[in-house]
Amino acid sequence: MILMVSVQNLEEALQAIKGGADIVDVKNLQEALVGSAHPHVVRDVRNAIPMERHASVTLGVVPNQIGTVAMAVYTAGVLRATSVKVGFMKTEYDAAVETLLAAREVLDGFDTKLIGSLFADNPLYDGLDAHNMVQLAKDGKCDGFLIDTLTKDGRNLFDFLREDELREMVVEGKEAGVSTALSGHLTIDDLDELARINPDIVGVRGAACQKGDRNSGVHWEPVAEFKRQLEMRQTGEVDVFATATSGAANGKSENGWVVIDGTGKTCAGIIAALTEQIEGDAESFIEVMIPDVLNTYDVIVWAEKRSHNILTQRKDPAGYVRMLIQP
């Protein structure tokens, strides 16, 4: 998991980076339920943040006007945003797909990634249900997806979607090879649940502000503390899976043996590589190298869902987990 902090201006972006945020996400919290920042704000943030650091753009809830949305997405590409998030509330599914496909087309030639977004509380507004998120990301040819919330009444993501529902969507997204992000009034108290779900990206605003007040401005100290707590779960220092099991007993086979090095991959990349390998060769054993503790649980869930056997799991001297899987 990496940390994304929502910012409204350059000063907040610099505070987020100082605190260790992996992504600064520029948005406008005063425009409707959530909206897009002025292009000059995005420009200033992108110019001030080194290109190797992520500066993304949120368009918020987009109108049902495909050309208007495509123009905004194109602008994000011109401004060299790392990614652009296109969110839907009261939009029919087919119209949302058409909008995302238009956005995909205008990003041709840019490095900007397309992120589709639905809101967990959309049913409150008679909107498009967030359970459509994975399929929408696939049909819209997105590079990733974000599930967020719109309400400002104190409820957060977990008040609208259960941990197991979110985990299922995240695992399906990783299988499809798209990045997965969760946000929605999340706090440090939600980190155990988030770690068990293990999205690629965790997005926060209030938790990154002074005294947890999302209107007080992002400050580097709460950002640094959230990042520290996230990393403690990433490394296993805080065990969020105290009762987890590692799978079946040791076994041997005369079949082939394939090694997948996942140390340079995201969890989505690891699962996609495993899926591709087994689709082409369902006989050979697979030894996969996994870079951190949380990702091992994603692979375990993936294997269990598809009735693959995990024969061994061990840590090598470099700190990686080596897992042997029998398809």
What tens digit of pLDDT does each residue of 182-222 get? 999 999 999 999 999 999 999 999 999 987 677 789 999 99
Mean pLDDT of the chain: 89
* Average pLDDT score over residue span 24-52: 90
Q: Would you state the structure tokens that stand for residue 85, as one six-digit string?
A: 């998030």
pLDDT score recorded for residue 242: 62
pLDDT tens track for 133-178: 999 999 999 999 999 999 877 889 999 999 989 999 999 999 999 9
Per-residue pLDDT tens over the stretch 284-317: 889 898 888 778 888 999 999 999 998 888 776 6
Instruction: Report the pLDDT value the prediction gives residue 200, as an integer from 0 to 100.
Output: 96
Confirm if 142 and 132 have CB atoms less than 8 A apart: no
Known catalytic residue at 85: yes
Q: Is the pLDDT of residue 119 over 50?
A: yes
Set out the domains of the chain in order of their start, with CATH numbers.
2-235 (3.20.20.380), 257-326 (3.30.110.40)
CA-derived radius of gyration, the chain: 20
Which among 85, 113, 174, 227 is annotated as catalytic?
85
Q: Give the pLDDT score at 249.
A: 29
| Least confidently predicted of 5-14, 27-36, 178-187 | 27-36
Determine whether 113 is an active site residue: no
Task: Exactly one of 18, 27, 152, 252 is catalytic; name it.
Answer: 27
- Please report the pLDDT score of residue 195 as a whole number: 93
Q: Show the CA angle centred on residue 169, arms to residues 168 and 171, nearest 5°.
A: 65
| Residues comprising the chain, all counted | 327
Tokens of 64: 């049902």
The residues near 223 (Cβ < 8 Å, ≥ 6 apart) are: 3, 5, 15, 16, 18, 19, 20, 21, 208
pLDDT band at 252 (very low <50, low <70, confident <90, very high): very low
Tokens (6 digits) for 53 = 């650091």
Strands 285-290, 321-326: pairing is antiparallel
Q: Per mean pLDDT, which of 48-57, 218-227, 256-265 is the most reliable?
A: 218-227
